[in-house]
């Protein structure tokens, strides 16, 4: 009896268990690779906040420049945000 049971278990694991495990993790991988609507909304809010902060900074620099003629805002040489050195900003 045990000689018949072991091949059935092995065939079941190969043709049912293994594809189920592979498909399960493929599904999880595809879900993790996409951006959710909530994540997209958060990114939009962060982008809006960053633009408002940039506008405020420019306004403050204009006010300080109007009060102090020697003031010169530090303009980064590149517009690529990855290349801006924030450690130099006061």
Question: Per the domain annotation, does 2 fall within a domain?
Answer: yes
Query: Which pLDDT belongs to residue 90?
Result: 44
Question: Is 24 found in the same domain as 39?
Answer: no
What gap in Å lies between CA 59 and CA 53, rounded to an integer? 10
Task: Check whether residue 26 and residue 39 sit in a common domain.
Answer: no
In the predicted structure, residue 82 carries a pLDDT above the cut 70: no
Within a domain: residue 46?
A: yes
pLDDT of residue 20: 93
Whether 9 is covered by a domain: the verdict is yes
In this structure, are 26 and 2 located in the same domain? yes
Q: What are phi and psi of 72, to 5 degrees?
A: -135, 115
Per-residue pLDDT, averaged over 33-58, amounts to 92
Count of domains for the chain: 2
Question: In the structure, what pLDDT confidence band is assigned to residue 55 with cuts at 50, 70 and 90?
Answer: very high
Task: Assess if residue 81 is contained within a domain.
Answer: no
Please give the average per-residue pLDDT across 75-87, as a whole number: 59
- 64-73 per-position pLDDT tens digit: 988 888 877 6
CA-derived radius of gyration, the chain: 29
């Amino acid at each position: 009896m045990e000689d018949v049971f072991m091949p059935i278990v092995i065939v079941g694991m190969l043709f049912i268990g293994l594809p189920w495990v592979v498909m399960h993790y493929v599904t999880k991988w595809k879900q993790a690779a996409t951006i959710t609507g909530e994540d997209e909304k958060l990114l939009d809010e962060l982008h809006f906040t960053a633009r408002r902060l940039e506008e405020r900074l420019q306004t403050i620099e204009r006010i300080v420049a109007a009060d102090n003629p020697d003031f010169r805002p530090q303009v980064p040489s590149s517009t690529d945000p990855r290349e801006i050195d924030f450690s130099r900003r006061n």
